[in-house]
Amino acid sequence: MNNKKNTDDQKLHVEYEHIHPFIDGNGRTGRMFMNWQRLNRLGKELLVIRDKEKQAYYDWFKRDKEH
């Protein structure tokens, strides 16, 4: 992720989730990396996904499969 020039944090997060080799911890680890990128590379705030936002978060992955 560090070498990627793309500034679309959602797309990079979904890409990471697809290549991460472990069954458990993918989401937590991926969101940690995504927030590191948001804070340090993009100057954005932390993204905290709460219960009411989970469906929108899961939709990121559905959209990726469609394209």
Quick one: pLDDT at residue 33? 87
Cα distances (angstroms) measured from residue 13 to each of 19, 51: 10, 19
| pLDDT at residue 64, as a whole number | 65
Q: 3 or 63: which carries more pLDDT confidence? A: 63
pTM of the model: 0.68
The DSSP 8-state label assigned to residue 22 in this structure reads -
Residue pLDDT, tens place only, 12-46: 888 888 787 677 777 888 888 889 988 988 899 99
**What's the rounded Cα separation, in Å, for the pair 58 and 41?**
24
User: Residue 18 is encoded by which pair of tokens?
Assistant: 């697809």
* pLDDT-derived band at 9, boundaries 50, 70, 90: confident
Instruction: Give pLDDT, residue 23.
Output: 72
